[in-house]
A and B are shown apart, each in its own frame.
Chain A
Amino acid sequence: MTAETIIQSLASGLLMGLLYGLIAVGLALIFGLMDVVNFAHGEFLMIAMYATFFLFAFFAIDPLLAAPLVAAALFVFGALVYLLIVRFAVRAKANAGMVQIFSTFGLAIVMRGLAQFFFTPDYRSVTHSWLGGKTVSIAGIFLPVPQLAGALVSILAFGALYFFINRTDFGRALEATREDAGAVALVGIDKNRVFALGWGLGAALVGLAGAIMAMFFYIYPDVGASFALIAYVTVALGGFGSVFGAFAGGIIVGLVEASTALLLPPSLKSVGIYAVYLLVVFIRPRGLFGSI
């Protein structure tokens, strides 16, 4: 193993980790806001990738330009999911936890089934894009441009999110609703509106990730599954509900995955992620940056 191999692996791991963070942050945001785990998170990613693919295939819109459009579409979609499904699920009188789980879980299965029905299970790819397939090489270390762009978008998105949550009225309303949804009603904040916007925001962020991913990953109805699993680990590692925990968690998962593959046979590379996760659960059950 040469130094070059190690640096290359860590660089790839870091880029992938930043993307994992961007994929996971929507999940963390929604959970932090209203204690609901969105089991359809992977499917949100899947439709974002399909949306990017179709914008490319039918209108020749480059994924980079499509990203804001897809994020906006996912914002509407996320808000609708809250207003039409989750809003009623959280009101369940009995067994509220189970109802929430099954409502989003059911949504995931429906979305996957519809995708297979309408889009067919064929594997799709965005074959040409401005950045796709391009690579920069620095001293023998290869950095794929789509992943670099993804990392940059991820950092910008987290920066914007930080500003948004801490500096704007809506961000403060979000924080307040999260602290005590009953009390905010007394000061005239419409809880449903805040929740809907929270779901929209969470979905928009995963939409952004999906558009970037479409540049270098294949697209099919089940594509969300493997990324969703990583997103759950990322969120649990970073701390449930902590938006910046997701950022740190993503980077940790990416780096741990890359370095495990250096030390162990690659078929065992997820062992590292789950071992670190287990360790965190034992030592700090709320996750690294969790507040609950």
Chain B
Amino acid sequence: MTVTRRNVLLGATAAAALLPIASRAQASEVVIGIIYPFSGASAQIGVDAQKAFETAAEVINNKYDFDLPLARDAGLPGLGGAKIRLVFADHQADPQKGRAEAERLITQEKVCAIVGTYQSAVAVTVSQICDRYQIPFISADNSSPSLHRRGLKFYFRAAPHDEMFSGAMFDFFDAMKKKGTKIETLSLFHEDTIFGTDSGNAQLKLAADRGYKVLADIKYRANSPSLSAEVQQLKAANADVLMPSSYTTDGILLVKTMAELGYKPNAIVAQDAGFSEKALYDAVGDKLEGVISRGSFSLDLAAKRPMVGKINAMFKEKSGKDLNDFSSRQFMGLIVMADAINRAKSTDGDKIREALVATDMPGESTIMPWKRVKFDETGQNNDADPVLLQYTGGKFVTIFPPQAAVAEAVWPMK
């Protein structure tokens, strides 16, 4: 058979006529992959994350009167009201399992986008796979600064990274110093995967730039059975501020061991992670009155934006917990992704990517204290302002930056 111009034209017309039907047929359901640790040492994070994503999907798929993208419509109006369906995959905090699961989500489950992953080390492999298959990936809650600097085209992060977070901590130190508080020396305490390492490096660099002396820089093995030798060194250094970058397990053990060895620092300024988790405060909260942690979320925002309180209530009904720094970022991760898919009016990876690049979401239509969501050419949102929170009287209050603060910092901690 010879291919004539007429045949080609006919074929093209037929294809053009069929295309909307095909895309409409596909679009009755938009499948998004969610990749988290659902078993292993950080399973608790994954289980809570699942509830946060389900809350976000509920907001997207049903009508709610929130000033949040997609809340006021049922499903995605750009795709004829298609509903979001989430497929959860378990990476067990293992970068290699993350790689395999991402590949499975894309090739078997046919997801059009992926959101993950809690551990930054896993985000490294998952985002590489996504880039290879040209599937957009949103780092909902990974904070390692190196993640968006790898030249990936399909990598996006709406939340701040650890350099921004650590920058806020040092801004806070500078402000406290101006008020006459003595802050000259620091002890860094960070775990040995990419999260702790990147965080430690960022803090080391900032300390050198701003003239703070680092007395101890301790990198420890994650999930250690004992931290007494490490705490012993922190105690010997006895710096003005202790700055831990630890996941929940090590955070609990750190605080317990500090109490056992009689080490009481003047202040603890933590890089989130374990220090945002309810489990840690359930276990050792009595020893942490006045601890400061960076965050990207604070429930006291609910006073200004009532929808934050309502979404928190929805999440709490599912999980029995309040939204925290992680679940709020996970929630927003899915909202941002769904918003892009809606504007792309397609489940094609390239089109969603274009829509993500064009994202410009004002801060008021998020549940975060951010200025807005807009990605730079590396996929990082530089308008996500971090906050510092202090744990007082059993809850967190925002103490920094001044425009978001609802209370003065208590220094030294009790």
Residues on B with beta carbons closer than 8 Å to the beta carbon of A291? none
Residue of B nearest to A213 (CB): B225
Given contacts A5-B232, A218-B252, A265-B219, contact A122 B262 (CB under 8 A): no
A142 at the A/B interface (Cβ < 8 Å)? yes
Chain A 200-243 against B: per-residue CB contact (8 Å), 1 yes, 0 no? 00000000000000001110111001110010000000000000
Instruction: Assess the B40–A9 pair: CB atoms within 8 A.
Output: no
Residue of A nearest to B285 (CB): A127
Residues on A with beta carbons closer than 8 Å to the beta carbon of B223? 226
Instruction: Assess the B283–A218 pair: CB atoms within 8 A.
Output: yes
Number of interface residues of B (CB under 8 A): 38
Residues on A with beta carbons closer than 8 Å to the beta carbon of B228? 8-9, 12-13, 16, 258
Instruction: Assess the A12–B226 pair: CB atoms within 8 A.
Output: yes
Instruction: Assess the A269–B224 pair: CB atoms within 8 A.
Output: yes
A166 at the A/B interface (Cβ < 8 Å)? no
Instruction: Assess the A125–B252 pair: CB atoms within 8 A.
Output: yes
Instruction: Assess the A226–B252 pair: CB atoms within 8 A.
Output: no
Given contacts A8-B232, A12-B232, A216-B256, contact A123 B248 (CB under 8 A): yes
B220 at the A/B interface (Cβ < 8 Å)? yes
Residues on A with beta carbons closer than 8 Å to the beta carbon of B261? 8, 12, 135, 142, 144
A92 vs B359: C-alpha distance in the bound complex, in angstroms?
63
A218 vs B227: C-alpha distance in the bound complex, in angstroms?
13
Residues on A with beta carbons closer than 8 Å to the beta carbon of B230? 261, 266
Residues on B with beta carbons closer than 8 Å to the beta carbon of A221? 43
State which residues 194-244 of B face A: CB under 8 Å: 218-221, 223-226, 228-230, 232-233, 236
Residues on A with beta carbons closer than 8 Å to the beta carbon of B236? 2, 5
Instruction: Assess the B41–A222 pair: CB atoms within 8 A.
Output: yes
Instruction: Assess the A123–B252 pair: CB atoms within 8 A.
Output: yes
User: Shortest Cβ distance from A213 into chain B, in angstroms?
Assistant: 9
State which residues 251-271 of B face A: CB under 8 Å: 252-253, 256, 259-262
Residues on B with beta carbons closer than 8 Å to the beta carbon of A8? 228, 232, 261
A106 at the A/B interface (Cβ < 8 Å)? no
A43 at the A/B interface (Cβ < 8 Å)? no
Residues on B with beta carbons closer than 8 Å to the beta carbon of A135? 259-262
Instruction: Assess the B41–A142 pair: CB atoms within 8 A.
Output: no
Q: Point out the residue from A257, A266, A270 that lies within 8 Å of B233, measured CB to CB.
A: A266
User: Shortest Cβ distance from B198 into chain A, in angstroms?
Assistant: 15
Q: Point out the residue from A142, A261, A270 that lies within 8 Å of B260, measured CB to CB.
A: A142
Residue of B nearest to A140 (CB): B262
Instruction: Assess the A9–B229 pair: CB atoms within 8 A.
Output: yes
A225 vs B249: C-alpha distance in the bound complex, in angstroms?
13
Residues on B with beta carbons closer than 8 Å to the beta carbon of A266? 218-221, 229-230, 233
Q: Point out the residue from A2, A12, A270 that lies within 8 Å of B221, measured CB to CB.
A: A270
Q: Point out the residue from B40, B47, B224, B226 that lies within 8 Å of A120, measured CB to CB.
A: B47
A265 vs B216: C-alpha distance in the bound complex, in angstroms?
11
Residues on A with beta carbons closer than 8 Å to the beta carbon of B262? 135, 137, 142
User: Shortest Cβ distance from B277 into chain A, in angstroms?
Assistant: 8
User: Shortest Cβ distance from B148 into chain A, in angstroms?
Assistant: 26
Residues on B with beta carbons closer than 8 Å to the beta carbon of A120? 44, 47
Q: Point out the residue from B39, B41, B260, B279 that lies within 8 Å of A133, measured CB to CB.
A: B260
Residue of A nearest to B286 (CB): A127
Instruction: Assess the A269–B221 pair: CB atoms within 8 A.
Output: yes
Residues on B with beta carbons closer than 8 Å to the beta carbon of A142? 260-262
User: Shortest Cβ distance from A57 into chain B, in angstroms?
Assistant: 11
B357 at the A/B interface (Cβ < 8 Å)? no
Residues on A with beta carbons closer than 8 Å to the beta carbon of B224? 226, 269
Identify the interface centre among B47, B192, B229, B261: most chain A CB within 10 Å of its CB: B229
A95 vs B17: C-alpha distance in the bound complex, in angstroms?
63
B284 at the A/B interface (Cβ < 8 Å)? yes
A267 at the A/B interface (Cβ < 8 Å)? yes
User: Shortest Cβ distance from B237 into chain A, in angstroms?
Assistant: 11
Residues on B with beta carbons closer than 8 Å to the beta carbon of A218? 249, 252-253, 279, 283
Residue of A nearest to B39 (CB): A116
Instruction: Assess the B283–A127 pair: CB atoms within 8 A.
Output: yes
Instruction: Assess the B260–A267 pair: CB atoms within 8 A.
Output: no
Instruction: Assess the B229–A125 pair: CB atoms within 8 A.
Output: no
Q: Point out the residue from B40, B220, B232, B249 that lies within 8 Å of A267, measured CB to CB.
A: B220
Instruction: Assess the B229–A269 pair: CB atoms within 8 A.
Output: yes
A266 vs B192: C-alpha distance in the bound complex, in angstroms?
10
Q: A16-B225, A135-B259 are in contact. List 12 more A-B contacts (CB 8 A).
A: A9-B228, A12-B232, A122-B44, A122-B279, A123-B282, A127-B282, A144-B260, A218-B279, A222-B41, A261-B229, A262-B229, A269-B220
User: What are 14 contact pairs spanning A and B, CB under 8 A?
Assistant: A8-B228, A12-B261, A13-B228, A122-B44, A123-B44, A123-B277, A124-B283, A135-B261, A217-B253, A218-B252, A230-B225, A262-B229, A266-B229, A267-B220
The 4 closest A-B pairs by CB, nearest first: A261-B229, A121-B43, A125-B283, A144-B260
Please list the residues of chain B having a beta carbon within 8 angstroms of any beta carbon in chain A. Answer: 39-41, 43-44, 46-47, 192, 218-221, 223-226, 228-230, 232-233, 236, 248-249, 252-253, 256, 259-262, 277, 279-280, 282-284, 286
